[in-house]
Structure 1
Amino acid sequence: MDALIHAMVGLHIVGIACLLGGFLTQMKAMGRGQARMTPAMLHGALAMLVTGVALVGLHRSQGHTVDTFKIGLKLALLVVVLGLVYVKRDEERVEAAAFGTVGALTTANVFIAVLWV
């Protein structure tokens, strides 16, 4: 079971990398008003959602306690990010506020995961 949990954590990190990497590579374009939501950002957000839910289920199935407030907050942030990326995925240019929100909420999600013990 531990190997499965570690595999899910690895895939969760890959999802974060896709989402945050897609944002970071377009920060210059965001400044010019030419940023767009890439397919990698959408797939990364979906991977985060699926693997995050799987991780909670795997931990609960082993009898571990899960901080439901922390997980709920992370889920809420991810749902907003996923909604923004999904709705704006076909637009050639995304306004800087929406694009910046995706980056800020994704970064906040990472810091919540790492710093909230």
Structure 2
Amino acid sequence: MDVLINVFVALHIIGIASLLGGFLTQMKAIGEGTARFTPAMLHGALTMLVTGIALVGLNQADDQTVNNIKIGVKLAILIVILGLVYVKRDEEKVDKGMFAAVGALTTANIFIATLWT
């Protein structure tokens, strides 16, 4: 079971890397007002959602304790990120504030995952 959990953790990290990488590669475009949500950002967020749900289920099946409040907060933030990215995915330019919000929420989700014990 540990190997399977570790595989899903790795996939979860790949998802967050895709989402945050899509944001970071467009830092210059944010300043120019030409930033847009890329398909990699949407797919990364969806990967995070699916693997996160799987990780909760696998950890509970393995009789490990799961902090449901932490998972709920992370899920709420991810749903906001997914909503923003999904709705604006086809637009040529995205508002600076909205694009920055996705980056800030993604970073917040990383810090919640690593610092909240």
In the superposition, the TM-score normalised over structure 2's length comes to 0.99
Q: Which runs of 5+ in 1 are unaligned?
A: none
Cα distance in 2, alignment partners of residues 92 and 85 from structure 1: 13
1:78 maps to a residue whose letter is L
CA displacement, residues 61-102 of structure 1 (integer Å, 9 cap, x when unaligned): 111111000000000000000000000100000000110010
Alignment-derived partner of residue 76 in structure 2: 76
CA-based RMSD: 0.5
Alignment-derived partner of residue 22 in structure 2: 22
Alignment-derived partner of residue 57 in structure 1: 57
Q: Is the partner of 1:35 in helix, strand or coil?
A: coil
Alignment-derived partner of residue 104 in structure 2: 104
Alignment-derived partner of residue 12 in structure 2: 12
Alignment-derived partner of residue 44 in structure 1: 44
Equivalenced residue count is 117
Cα distance in 2, alignment partners of residues 27 and 83 from structure 1: 21
Q: Is the partner of 2:37 in helix, strand or coil?
A: coil
Write out the 4+ residue segments of structure 1 that deviate beyond 6 Å after TM superposition: none
In the superposition, the TM-score normalised over structure 1's length comes to 0.99
Alignment-derived partner of residue 91 in structure 2: 91
